[in-house]
Structure 1
Amino acid sequence: MRILIVEDDPMLGDGLQRGLKLKGHAVDWFATGAEADRAIADMQYDAVVLDLGLPDDDGVALLARWRQQGRQTPVLMLTARDAISSRIGGLDAGADDYLIKPVDLDELAARLRAVTRRSAGMPEPVWHHGALTYQPAARQATWKGQPVDLTAREAMLLELLLAHPSRVLTREFLREKLYAWEQGAESNTLEVHIHHLRRKIHPGIVRTLRGAGYTLGTPEAIASPGDDA
C-alpha cells in the first residue's frame, strides 16, 4: 500500500513511517495540513493516517475538505484518549476508523488493511483468483495449494494486481504505489518483480499490454501451462 501519514509529532511520525515501511508499505510522512493537501493532490494514496491536532490546520476541517472535493481515500484518524468530541467530529466528517494514542503499530497496520479492503470492495481476509489464494493480512500467497515465497515488493505488486483485476495498471501507477518519494527505483526494477511473479506463480499471472501497462491474467489464462506475451 501507498500510505500518507499526517502527524506533527516528530517521534510518532518517524516511528510510524519506519514501522509501516518495515511491514512492506510505501510511506510518505508530512507534519502539516498544507503539505498533506499538496501530497494528496499529487499522489493517489491507498490510505491516510491523519492526526486531528495539526499546527496549521484542524484535522477535522482538513478531512471534511477532502471529502467535499470528492476524495474517497480511506482515512484512519489519530486522537488523544480524552478527545471524544474530536473522534465524533472526525467520523462525521468522513473518517473510516480511528485509533487512540499511543498507537500500537500492529493494530494500526491491521486497521489500515481492513479499511482498504472495505474501500476496494474486497472485505474477505483471503482473496481467490483461480488456483491462487492471497492473504493480505499476512501477505502470504499459495499456488495450487503450495506456499509461494514472495518478497515484500513482490507481494505488494501481486496485491495491487488482485485489487484491480480488470484494470490496466500503468508503469507509473505501479511505481508510485511501490515506492515512496524518497525511495529511488532503478528503471527496470518493476519488470524484475513482474518476472519473479511469473516465475514463482505462472507465466500468465501478469499480462503485458505493450504501450499501456500490465494487468492481472484471467483465471482461465493461468489454468494451464503456457507463456504469456
Structure 2
Amino acid sequence: MKVLLIEDDALIGQNIVKSLKISQFTVDWFRDGESGLQALHHSEYSLLLLDINLPGLSGFDVLKNLRRDNTKLPILILSARDRLDDRVGGLNEGADDYLIKPFHLDELLARMHALIRRQHSTATNILKYGSLSLDSQKHTVIFNDQPIDLSGKEFAILYALLENPDAVLSRKKLEAKIYDWNDEIGSNSIQVFIHHLRKKLGEDAIRNIRGVGYKIGTL
C-alpha cells in the first residue's frame, strides 16, 4: 500500500517513514502542503497522513482542497493541537480520524489499517481470492494452505491486483502504486515481479491483457 505523509517536522517524519517501510508500506513524504497537493495529482495513495501546522498551505487548507474536489481518500490528521475544537474542526472539515502527538507508532499503524479497512468496506485486513489469502497488516500470504514468501514489491503488486480483482491495471498504474518518488524504476521491473509471482503462485495466477495491463487470474 502506498501512503502520502505531509509533515514538516524532520524527526517525526523520519520516524514515521522508517516505521511504515518496516511495515511494508510505500511512502512519499513532503514537508509542505503545496508539494503534498501536487503529489496527490500525480500519484495514487491508499491513505493520507496530514499534519496541521505546515509552512505555507496549512493542513486544514489541504484538507479543504481535497474534500472540495470530492476525493474519497482516507485522511488521518496528525497534530499536537489537542483542544476539542481543533479535533472537532478537523473531523468536520472531512478528516476520517485525528491522532494527537506524541503518539505511539503501533497506534498509528492500527488506525491506518482501520481506515483502509473502512475504505474497502471490510471488517478484517485479509483479502481472499480462490485458494489465496493475503493479510495486509501481518504481511503474509497463504496459498493452498501453505505460506508463500514474497518480496515487498511482489506483495505490493499482488495486493494491488486483489484490491479490485475485476480491474485491469496497466504497468504505469502498478508502478504508481508500489514505488515512491525516490525509487529508481527499471523499464521491465513490473514484468520481472509478475514473473516471480507466477513462479510462486502458478502461471495462471496473473493474466496479461495484451495492450492494457494485468489482472488477477486463477488461484
Matched, 1:119 2:119: yes
1:200 and 1:93 map into 2 onto residues whose CA distance is 45
1:55: Cα distance to partner? 2.0
2:38 and 2:208 map into 1 onto residues whose CA distance is 32
1:20 and 1:59 map into 2 onto residues whose CA distance is 21
Amino acid at match of 1:22: I
Amino acid at match of 1:52: I
Q: Please report the TM-score for the alignment, with normalisation by the length of structure 1.
A: 0.90
Q: Which aligned runs of 4 or more in structure 1 are off by greater than 3 angstroms? A: none
2:89 and 2:196 map into 1 onto residues whose CA distance is 46
Deviates more, 1:20-29 or 1:66-75: 20-29
Would the aligned equivalents of 1:8 and 1:31 in 2 still touch at CA under 8 Å? Answer: yes
Q: Please report the TM-score for the alignment, with normalisation by the length of structure 2.
A: 0.94
Q: Which residue of 1 aligns with 2:59?
A: 59
Identical positions, percent: 38
1:49: Cα distance to partner? 0.3
2:31 and 2:99 map into 1 onto residues whose CA distance is 18
Q: Which residue of 2 aligns with 1:140?
A: 140
Q: Which residue of 2 aligns with 1:225?
A: none
Report how many residues are paired: 219
RMSD of aligned residue pairs (Cα, Å): 1.5
Would the aligned equivalents of 1:156 and 1:178 in 2 still touch at CA under 8 Å? Answer: yes
Q: Which residue of 2 aligns with 1:174?
A: 174
Would the aligned equivalents of 1:52 and 1:86 in 2 still touch at CA under 8 Å? Answer: no
1:158 and 1:122 map into 2 onto residues whose CA distance is 18
Q: Which residue of 1 aligns with 2:42?
A: 42
Deviates more, 1:12-21 or 1:135-144: 12-21
2:118 and 2:174 map into 1 onto residues whose CA distance is 21
1:141: Cα distance to partner? 0.9
1:81: Cα distance to partner? 5.8
1:43 and 1:125 map into 2 onto residues whose CA distance is 23
Q: Where does the alignment leave 5 or more consecutive residues of structure 1 unmatched?
A: 223-229
Q: Which residue of 1 aligns with 2:98?
A: 98
1:63 and 1:166 map into 2 onto residues whose CA distance is 31
1:82: Cα distance to partner? 2.5
Q: Where does the alignment leave 5 or more consecutive residues of structure 2 unmatched?
A: none
